[in-house]
Amino acid sequence: MLEQITPLILTYNEESNLNHTLQRLKWANKIVIIDSFSTDRTLEILKLYPQVQLFQRKFDNHTSQWNYGLEQVRSEWVLSLDADYVITDELLSEIQELSLDASINGYFVQFKYCVFGKPLHGALLPPRQLLFRKSKAIYIDDGHTQLLKVKGKSSKLTAYIYHDDRKPLSRWLWAQDRYMVIEARKLLETPNSELSLGDRIRKQKILAPIIILVYCLIIKGGILDGWRGFYYAFQRVLAEILLAIHIIESERYKA
């Protein structure tokens, strides 16, 4: 199975994360990287891995970038990864043992969020369809990010993948601010009847940060992770506050 899979990764200034991710992909014959003209040591690090096929494309949006990446893949299966996703031994073993069931076109993978390299008890990340047949998949827009649409039947893997972002706080804030501008636009332009309960709460601005704090620390068990759990909870609260500020700005400017 592994011989039929090509990892696909988007990069932009990922020098803090790349080695941790690529070290766990040495089994791959080819790794397709779509880089948005990084200005740090990203390209230098990529040269250390002979399996890497590097393509550079000016970033316009995540959907176009991912679909461009799919066009560069030549294998039947794609393993779609962010530059801060780290494959665990358990997940690799499970993928390796998959039978080539022609009726399954994609597999969802669960996450464990890491803070300073150590996984937390729980996080807000839902399972994502990371492993899929290229011929059955396309990316579409979904708020500040992309949504993968896979035709046909999908299944779920039991092993976890680590989300281990080691970029500095300043870069995280920069990214979250960009994301929340787009997310605020999505929430304001979508009728309430089409929004989930969670998105309707986020749109109200005040309650969401408080609910996220309780959810991360109590429901997801972050309090059991000590200071790492509080660090993650505060990150998510700050992200929701940024979203609320952008919603308020958009509403005031419209008025």
Tokens 């920069």 locate to 174
Residues 6+ apart with CB under 8 A from 157: 91, 94, 95, 107, 108, 109, 110, 131
Q: Which residue has the tokens 């560069």?
A: 72
- Who's near 169: CB < 8 A, 6+ residues apart? none
Distance CA 69, CA 32 (A): 7
Residue 68 to residue 71: CA distance in whole angstroms: 5
The pairing of beta strand 31-35 with beta strand 52-56: parallel
Q: What is the pLDDT of residue 255?
A: 59
Whole-angstrom distance, CA of residue 44 vs CA of residue 48: 7
Rounded (5°) CA angle 90-123-162: 30
Check residue 137 and give its pLDDT: 96
Q: Rounded to whole angstroms, how far apart are CA atoms 2 and 53?
A: 17
Residues 6 or more apart whose CB falls under 8 angstroms from that of 21 comprise 9, 81, 83, 84, 85, 86
Mean pLDDT along residues 4-20? 96
CA 97 vs. chain centroid, Å, equals 25
Strand-pairing partners, residue 112, are: 162
Per-residue buried b or exposed e for 179-211, using 16+ beta carbons within 10 Å of the residue's own CB:
bbebbbeebeeeeeeeeeeebebbbebeebbeb
Lowest model confidence (mean pLDDT) among 18-32, 42-56, 79-93, 139-153 = 139-153
This prediction's pTM: 0.87
Q: Name the band, by pLDDT with cuts 50, 70 and 90, for residue 144.
A: low
Q: What's the one-letter identity of residue 99?
A: S
Tell me the pLDDT tens digit for each residue of 30-64.
999 999 999 999 999 999 999 999 999 999 989 99
The strand pairing partners of 55, in sequence order, are 34
Q: What is the pLDDT of residue 147?
A: 87
